[in-house]
A and B are shown apart, each in its own frame.
Chain A
Amino acid sequence: MADNGYETGRGLSRRRFLKLAGVAAMGAAGAPWLIDPARAQVRTSARVVIAGAGAGGLAMASRLSRLLDGARITIVDSREIHWYQPGFTLIAGGVWAPDRVTTPNSAFMPGGVEWIKADIAEFDPDGNRVVTDQGQTVRYDYLVVATGLELDYGDIEGMERSLIGQHGIGSVYAGPQHAAATWATMQAFVEGGGLGIFGRPPGGIKCAGAPLKMTLLTDYHLREAGRRGRAELIYAAHNDALFGVAPVNERVTEMFGSRGIEPQYSHVLKAVDPGRRTATFDTPDGDATLDYDFLHVVPPMSPPDPVTNSALAWQEGPFSDKGWLEVDQYTMRHRRYPNVFGIGDVNGIPKGKTAASVKAQAPVVAGNLVRVIEDREPTHRYNGYTSCPLVTAVGQAMLVEFDYEGNLIPSFPFLDPLEPSWVPWMMEELMLRPAYDAVLRGRI
């Protein structure tokens, strides 16, 4: 072969090698950054305060820091550790270890964003300021409320968070360690059998599919252990349905029937006696008390007090009972304070208290906030998109996605949203966490 850098016949040229190597390396390292969905577009000196560094707050910080050039963006939250909450049911189902859902919040905090490590103690929308629990006043031109919600275990007589993992009580919502304690409690129930009681409270709760998942996972583990016959499972629904979306409700009802899980409608957990292992429900026929061996408690949920106690809360209507944030359900803009937006669990809207909802809301809130800064009307609209990978067994799930009207709106037309299968489970196991992280980084 002539020493000219080229080769005749079957071999490859060294120039082609080097070119290929260079392209491959550049492609591997840089490809995602060639596409930036939120480049700096608007020059502004506006001061934006984001109240809360959960999924919604971090997604907004990431998006706004790239959409706004010159803005002063401050995020207020004392939390140092971020919880990937969609993973809690996998922990409580014995699939994941608790450390798989924890990440330092700093890993998601975009550069150039000021992080005040304190909690909001007071919202003063008339004065365009917030006050932290450390007494610091932070003024804003625009506010994004992303505080999340509170778990009100104390609203159930005799119940408190510290009981999770004891006296046959589990609860998937309270945190990774509590989810792990719930798994331990479920295992003990699988060993011992008896009566397992599940259910949910009325009102807005995050991930309304989680109580159903816990019921189905308990059934699954009982069957796997060959002990299903030694256990009775009851699901106490707060109203006359197991799920708020009609076709999903029908499917879950059918599934419960085939798996021997008994629904009890219009049953709201009102009291627990851990020592005696009894649970008392408020029913149309009066109180009903049941002896349980495993009780999965889903607490009532409400906005944090600073939201409830502020003028930002709904003053009338169905969301005023607990004081959820009064935003337009489509634009996510506050209905009375036009420089205030809301994202995530704190919003008083008909649906949308899941991480998937945050994914759909983030571009709406960011886009509309930018338009308002530009003195234009908000045009981006949130359709109520909510997703629930409804785990039916370890290894199978249904990817249920719906909007405000309860229409099923599958992202993947090739997947039947009402048929349990492995692909949605594989997505839950492998894909959703990376997708979630991309949302927090403002990339999707």
Chain B
Amino acid sequence: MGNMPIYAPLFVIFEMFRPVLPWLVAVVVIDALLLAVAALRGAPRGRRATGVSIVIGIVVAVIAALRLPAFTHAGLGDLVTVMDFVMLALAALGTGVAVGILAFPLVLVLSGTRRG
């Protein structure tokens, strides 16, 4: 911090995920392959898959909101300022969005194709 450049958070996030980067890349590659499979099969049920992915994202976000303080060795009682709750909500939202996006290709394939 301290006159931190505007791009700094990008590198911090990258370093945060560096230990699991191979796994993350694997998930992205698998997702790309799943998207390709869905595309090649034709007529994917995009809207249904989007809905299911959003539900998954919401569930994950709720779980993240409840578990994130414990993940940092803190308790919900340690959240005492408005910013604590805002940041928790944002972190949970981000986690939910990320998981929802990553889940979308699999959900899309599992949703099958549109008939007719």
A residues at B contact (CB < 8 Å) = 1, 3, 7, 9-15, 17-18, 20-22, 24-25, 28-29, 31-32, 35, 37, 95, 356, 359-360, 385, 387, 393-396, 401, 409, 411-412, 414-416, 419-423, 425-426, 429-431, 433-435, 437-438, 441, 443-444
Looking at the assembled complex, report how far the CB atom of A119 sits from the nearest CB atom of chain B, in whole angstroms. 29
Q: Is the CB of A422 within 8 A of B79?
A: yes
Which chain A residues lie closer than 8 Å to B75 at the CB level? 395
A-B contact count (CB 8 A): 160
Interface SS of chain B: helix
Cross-interface CB contact of A434 among B13, B78, B114, cutoff 8 Å: B13
B105: chain A residues at CB < 8 Å are 21
Q: Are B28 and A422 in contact (CB under 8 A)?
A: no
Contact between B36 and A435, CB atoms less than 8 A apart? no
Q: Which of A25, A387, A396 contacts B29 (CB 8 A)?
A: A25
Nearest 6 pairs of A and B residues by beta carbon: A14-B39, A395-B74, A395-B78, A434-B15, A411-B1, A17-B39
Say yes or no: A429 contacts B73, CB within 8 Å: yes
Residues of A within 8 Å of B35, CB to CB, are 17-18, 20-21
Q: Which of the residues A25, A421, A444 comes within 8 Å of B84, measured between beta carbons?
A: A421
| Alpha-carbon distance A265/B8, docked complex (angstroms) | 41
CB of B84 within 8 A of CB of A423, answer: yes
> Chain A contacts of B80 at CB under 8 A?
396, 420-422
> Residue B67 at the A interface, CB < 8 A?
no
CB distance B47 to A10 under 8 Å?
Answer: yes
Report which of A1, A411, A430 forms a contact with B42, defined as CB distance below 8 A. A1
Given contacts A3-B42, A10-B45, 12 further A-B contacts (CB under 8 A): A1-B43, A11-B44, A14-B38, A24-B31, A24-B32, A37-B5, A387-B2, A395-B72, A401-B1, A435-B1, A444-B4, A444-B8
- B28 close to A431 (CB less than 8 A): no
Q: How far is the CB of B18 from chain A (nearest CB, A)?
A: 7
Q: Kindly state the separation between the CA atoms of A169 and B4 in the bound complex, as whole angstroms.
A: 39
Q: Are B31 and A21 in contact (CB under 8 A)?
A: yes
Q: In the complex, A25→B84 CA distance in Å? A: 33
22 pairs of residues in contact across A and B, judged by CB atoms under 8 Å: A7-B43, A10-B46, A14-B36, A17-B36, A17-B44, A18-B39, A21-B31, A24-B28, A28-B24, A28-B25, A394-B74, A395-B78, A421-B78, A421-B79, A421-B84, A422-B80, A426-B72, A429-B72, A435-B8, A437-B15, A438-B11, A438-B14
User: Which of B's residues lie within 8 Å of A, judged by CB?
Assistant: 1-5, 7-8, 10-16, 18, 24-25, 28-29, 31-32, 35-36, 38-40, 42-47, 68-69, 72-75, 77-81, 83-84, 87-88, 105, 114
Are B43's CB and A11's CB within 8 A?
yes
Question: In the complex, what residues of B have CB within 8 A of residue A11's CB?
Answer: 43-46, 114
Residues from chain A with a CB closer than 8 A to the CB of B14 are 31-32, 434, 438
Chain B residues near A394 (CB-CB < 8 A): 73-74
Closest CB of chain B to A219's CB: distance in Å? 15
Taking a contact as CB atoms closer than 8 A, the residue among A21, A401, A409, A423 that contacts B87 in the complex is A423
Q: Are A356 and B11 within 8 A (Cβ)?
A: no
Which chain A residue has the least Cβ–Cβ distance from B81? A421
Pairwise interchain contact B73-A95, C-beta atoms closer than 8 A = yes
> Would you call B7 and A17 a contact (CB within 8 A)?
no
Asked whether, in the complex, the Cβ of B11 is within 8 Å of the Cβ of A32, the reply is yes
Q: Tell me whether A409 and B2 are in contact in the complex, defined as CB-CB below 8 angstroms, given that A14-B42, A423-B87, A429-B72 are known contacts.
A: yes
Closest Cβ neighbor of A37 among chain B residues: B5
Alpha-carbon separation in the docked complex, A139 to B29 (Å): 48
- Known contacts A411-B1, A437-B18, A444-B4; is A422 also within 8 Å of B73 by CB? no
A434 touches B12 (CB 8 A): yes
Q: Is the CB of A21 within 8 A of B84?
A: no
In the bound complex, do residue A411 and residue B2 qualify as a contact, i.e. CB atoms below 8 Å apart? yes
- Bound-state CA distance A443–B69 (Å) is 29
Residue of A nearest to B14 (CB): A32
Tell me the complex Cα distance, A87–B94, Å: 26
Q: Is the CB of A425 within 8 A of B12?
A: no
A429 to B83, CA, bound (A): 17
Complex Cα spacing A47 to B14, Å: 32
Chain A nearest CB, measured from B42 CB (Å): 7
- CB-based nearest B residue for A21: B32
Q: Given the known A-B contacts A423-B84, A444-B8, are A359 and B2 also in contact in the complex, defined by CB atoms under 8 Å? A: yes
